[in-house]
Amino acid sequence: MQEIKTIAIAGAGTMGAGIAQVSAQAGYNTILFDINLEMLQKGKNSVENSLNSLLKKGKLSLEKKEEIQTKIKFTSEINELKADLIIEAIVENLAIKQKFFKEVAELNSPETILASNTSSIPLTQIAEKISNPERVVGIHFFNPAPVMKLVEIISGEKTNPEIVEVCKKLLAGMGKTCVMAADSPGFIVNRVARLYYVESLKILEENVATFEDIDLLLESSGFKMGPFRLMDLIGVDTNFSVTNSIYNLFNQASKFRPSKIQQQKVEAGFHGKKTGKGFYEYE
């Protein structure tokens, strides 16, 4: 099995940019790809701002910051996505993920590891139409990727156990704590967390309390962030997409029913911090 020297990340949103930063900080040659030039620039700015924050806090030297930045190549050309490990962090849509992996599989060797940062879609489904499905694995980071230590590693039906061990060792070297998960909708964290969001939204729908009070109560109970602050951070649209995915994968079980309030936010373009407004307003 080839040594991992170059890591490519597809999708320059909050998660993709964060994973690219983690990769570059660990010393890997890193490629960040997005077909949308505006998103690619936002991703570049996100990495720059994050590194500047570390510099101001004294957690990073100027020399190290510049070294990390030279490790990242930004591109909108899919033909440049050639690496030893490719991680997709694109839209939570099975058909789009399958199409992407089929394209990059043709550009790379059969030994290139294809990893999905999917939050909810079973890996076996993603790998179904891809050549050499044994090299498809789930590597699910959490937001913000440079800060959060936890990473879920998911094996599909055909995933080679050796690939899993390579990824586990790689992530441990990046300072991450790996948890192994079976190939079930939502895996571990998102299956449990869905109820954190869905029940909070139901309380809001029923006018039991305001979203501010719900956040305050749960933060006072020990949660680092209330559900509405967290949805704004992750992206209200992303959170809603994952909820829909899990709801359908579990045969529309009522406990995972998506919220109309959240749907209205998405349709209005109030996607959270990234758009300046979600449940809260941001500068």
Active-site choice (23, 140, 200, 245): 140
The question of whether 244 is a catalytic residue gets the answer no
Strands 6-10 and 72-75: unpaired
Q: By the 8 A CB rule, do 184 and 161 touch?
A: no
Active-site choice (119, 160, 200, 241): 119
The question of whether 119 is a catalytic residue gets the answer yes
Q: Establish how many alpha carbons lie within 13 A of residue 55's alpha carbon, considering only the half-sphere containing its beta carbon.
A: 15
Q: Establish how many alpha carbons lie within 13 A of residue 181's alpha carbon, considering only the half-sphere containing its beta carbon.
A: 28
Cα gap 66→6, rounded to integer Å: 18
Active-site choice (152, 155, 160, 245): 152
The question of whether 140 is a catalytic residue gets the answer yes
The question of whether 109 is a catalytic residue gets the answer no
Sign of torsion over alpha carbons 195, 196, 199, 201: negative
Active-site choice (23, 108, 190, 259): 190
Q: Output the CA–CA distances (angstroms, integers) from residue 168 to 72, 117, 236, in the order listed.
A: 22, 14, 30
Cα gap 133→99, rounded to integer Å: 14
Q: Which residues are catalytic?
A: 119, 140, 152, 190
